[in-house]
Structure 1
Amino acid sequence: MPDSLLSIIDALQDRKIMIIGDMVADVYLEGKIARISREAPVLILEHAGETVVPGGAANAVHNAATLGGRVYAVGVVGNDSAGSELARILSEKGVVTDGLIVDASRPTITKTRVMAGGQATVRQQVVRIDREAKTPLNSAIEAAVLDYIDKHLPAMDAVVMSDYGSGTVTAAVIAQVVAGCRRANIPCIVDSRYNILAFTGVTVVKQNETEAAAAVGLKALDDHTLIAAGEKIRDHLAAQAVLITRGPDGMTLFDAQGQITNIPVTNKSEVYDVTGAGDTVVAAMTLALAAGASYLDAARLANFAAGIVVRKPGTATTTPEELREAVASFYENRH
């Protein structure tokens, strides 16, 4: 087992994958607590810095690039500083960003977190300000996205649709991607927060427990309803595999042959921050499938990748070196 996973890590390098979805700029505004305002009972923060981190589908892009993939990012950004900064950060990682279509009529989706702390205190999030257009993509922008997908998809090893519910992954995009991946005979992976049942014909579905429960009309899943939900989603979408991530309970993989495999977490003790771990799972699993791994090996590798990023603060990434180390030490400790 460890040898097969280690050989997959070597094979991830330079696999071409296209990631289409809602590109988000996570902005962290840092402030030092100075005093209480005289105008209202609120803190006054002295501006101490600002950082932009790729979020949403851009986090999946960032993760896939850090793992060594040759990534084509496809989405919509505004004609603003958040959009250009996002494109700059991804370009520096070697991502092909020509597919980030600029729409001057809508802002880049931004989630600005105001972080406050003192000299000897832990920084805490005080407030979050979200900015995004709620209107559907206009037809010219959608046509530009579809045109880019049409031109570049045949050269890919795999395609991801990362749908955070912000309108980039339209019905026309889904139809074109599913048909294009069939023609090219490559895997198509979807991660959709609110609308998974719209993705009929995809190869692999990734959902967390809450999303899977909502998709089948339940508030939460237990061991029994988890199996029913996974099989229902797989059958409804005619997918080859469904991967449901379950936080501290690991992951469960459902394949087209009716096989159900529980994959336990690789580290229970060191969870620091689960933000963005789902994007890491999608990136690692997609690259592994692009490299020819089985669904089960791809899911196992993704599980190791998630186990690394939850030890890091915020939307984090992992490297091939960290992945090799995690796989090797896990199997050494078991013997």
Structure 2
Amino acid sequence: MFQNLQQLVDGLQNKEIMIIGDMVADVYLEGRISRISREAPVLILEHAGETVVPGGAANAVHNAAALGGKVYAVGVIGDDNAGQLLTQVLNSKTVNTEGFITDAARPTVTKTRVMAGGQATVRQQVVRIDRETKQPLSSDVEQRLLNYIKENIRRMDAVVVSDYGSFTVSPSVRKTVIELCESAGIPSMVDSRYNVMDYEGIRLVKQNESEAANALGSSVLNKNSLIEAGKTILERLKAEGVLITQGPEGMTLFERSGAITHIPVTNKSEVYDVTGAGDTVVVTMMLALAAGASYQEAACLANFAAGVVVRKPGTATTSPAELKQAIGDHIL
């Protein structure tokens, strides 16, 4: 099976995938510790640089592009510097950002991390500043979003909804995407942080343990309740598959056929940072399905992809070559 997975990696190339969701600009402000302020007991940092990294749904977009997918990013950005920089970064990765709707009335969702360190000290995050509007989309912006989706979604090989709770995926957007994918026979998957139970009719669902627990009103899942959670989400959403990721314990795939497959992690010893690994899992699985994989094959390939990115700091991606190498190392 693992050799089949290596061959499957080639099939991911140029598959058309639409990723709809909350596009986030992760901004890293770098500073060198200079001294303690006289005004207050705080560090003074000398500005050393600024980097914008795709976050939220934009991280899923970045991951799909790195794997060779032909990516159509759909979301809302502000008429601001963060939105422009995020668009430029994704365009440089050959992502199609024509689906970015600019809304001058709301800022681009931005998470700014102030990072400090010196020559002999470890680089650390000092503070994070979040900027977003906690209001639903205006009717005009929502309609522009819907128009783009309706005009382009039917030619996709796969569709992902990446819902981080920042209001891009309105009830109308959610309903439209599910109905269009179902009528066109396009595989669709949702990764929703807060309201996955609103996605009845979606074909596939990805949740981590805590998200699945929250969705069902629980505080934590053990081995037995995880099985029940997977079955319950599958049944209530009338989905074909539910994938619950479990950190160092791997992931478990629940299928409508009744099959339950647990996929252990490929290497526990080299985990560096799990940030954004869920986005990697989702897009790898969907590109694999677009390439003709079964649900189990797609989930196994996604597991290998996650195993690569967790060995890298921050929100990271994996390339086809790295993915093939990881599978090859496991075979050996």
Q: Classify the TM-score, shorter chain.
A: over 0.9
Task: Give the equivalent residue in structure 1 for 2:68.
Answer: 68
Q: Distance in 1 between matches of 2:329 and 2:308?
A: 12
SS of the residue corresponding to residue 267 of structure 1 reads coil
Please name the residue that 1:171 is paired with.
171
* 1:10 alignment partner in structure 2: 10
**What's 1:321 paired with?**
321
Deviation sequence 1:28-68 (CA, Å, 0-9, x none): 00000000000000000000000000000000000000000
Q: 2:53 matched to 1:53?
A: yes
Q: CA deviation at 1:6?
A: 1.1
Whichever residue aligns with residue 159 of structure 1, its letter is V
The 5-angstrom pairing of residues 142-221 of structure 1 reads: 142-221=142-221
Name the aligned partner's letter for residue 319 of structure 2.
Answer: T
Partner amino acid, structure 2, of 1:190: V
Map of 2:252 onto structure 1: 252
The Cα of 1:121 is off from its aligned counterpart by 1.2
Q: Distance in 1 between matches of 2:304 and 2:132?
A: 33
Partner of 2:81: 81
**How far has the Cα of 1:16 moved from its partner?**
0.1
Render the CA deviation track for 1:269-323: whole Å, top value 9, x for unaligned.
0111110000010110110011111011000000000000000010000000000
For residues 230-277 of structure 1, give each alpha carbon's deviation from its aligned partner in whole angstroms, at most 9, with x where no partner exists.
000000000000000000000000000111111000110011111000
Write out aligned runs for 1:272-283 (5 A): 272-283=272-283
Query: Separation in 2 of the partners of 1:21 and 1:162?
Result: 5
For 2:324 and 2:119, the matched residues in 1 are separated by 37
The number of residue pairs the alignment matches comes to 332
* Equivalent AA in structure 2 for residue 297 of structure 1: E
| 2:70 maps to amino acid | R
Q: Which runs of 5 or more residues in structure 2 are unaligned?
A: none
- Please report how far the alpha carbon of residue 3 of structure 1 lies from its aligned counterpart in structure 2 after TM superposition: 1.9
Alpha-carbon RMSD across the aligned residues, in angstroms, is 0.5
Partner of 2:109: 109
The answer for the alignment partner of 2:118 in structure 1 is: 118
Percent identity, please.
66
Amino acid at match of 1:193: R
Per-residue CA shift, 1:205-245, capped at 9, x if unaligned? 00000000001111000000000000000000000000000
Instruction: State the 1:204 CA deviation.
Output: 0.6
- Matched residues in 2 for 1:232 and 1:63: separation? 29
Distance 2:262 2:44 in 1: 49
Q: How far is 1:183 from its partner?
A: 1.6
Structure 1, unmatched stretches of 5+, are none
The worse-fitting range, judged by mean Cα deviation, of 282-291 and 60-69 is 282-291
- Deviation, 1:182, is 1.2
Give the Cα–Cα distance (whole angstroms) in 2 for the partners of residues 3 and 306 of structure 1: 18
Show the counterpart of 1:331.
331
CA distance in 2, matches of 1:3, 1:279: 24
- CA separation in 1, counterparts of 2:222 and 2:259? 19
C-alpha displacement at 1:168, in angstroms?
A: 0.3
Structure 1 residue 82: Cα displacement: 0.5
